[in-house]
Amino acid sequence: MPIFVVQKHFAKTVHYDFRLEKDGVLKSWAVPKGIPLGKGVKRLAVETDDHEIEYADFEGTIPEGDYGAGKVETWDRGTYDEEEWLADRIVFKLNGARFKGRYCLIRFKKSGEKNWLLFSL
């Protein structure tokens, strides 16, 4: 079963890195206000570069001068069930300690090609 990880990232601005394992990599989004816990709450999720699977285990500090410099701590991790994975819509069920239940990512094209909305179903 594929994994997901949420990492709290203390970079220039504090945000949460949300990652889903897909096709041998971690598909990744930066979520400035955190993963929504309740239904009806929508969060901006900005698509970022894919990361290697091993990055799911990373906790520590990225040195100054490196991309993403700052402290990274694991906020939650677990497995997920993929229900739908299309170019502009991803539906999945998270099986983590903090985050459980069905979620959806929808590409928000009006706001830019890399911007998505993340919400709980």
Report CA Rg, the chain. Answer: 14
pTM tops 0.75, yes or no? yes
Contact by Cβ (8 Å): 46, 116: yes
Q: What percent of the chain has pLDDT over 70?
A: 100
Is 80 exceeded by the pLDDT of residue 59? yes
CA angle 93, 2, 121 (to 5 degrees): 10
Q: Taking the CA of residue 109 as centre, how many other CA atoms within 13 Å lie in the half-sphere pointing to its CB?
A: 3
For the stretch 1-48, pLDDT in tens is: 999 999 999 988 899 999 999 999 999 999 999 999 888 899 999 999
Q: Residue 32 sits in which domain range?
A: 3-120
Is 90 exceeded by the pLDDT of residue 62? no
For the stretch 49-58, pLDDT in tens is: 999 999 999 9
Contact by Cβ (8 Å): 18, 35: yes
The count of domains in the chain is 1
Show the tokens assigned to 57.
């285990």
Q: Share the mean pLDDT of the chain.
A: 93
CB neighbours of residue 75 within 10 Å: 19
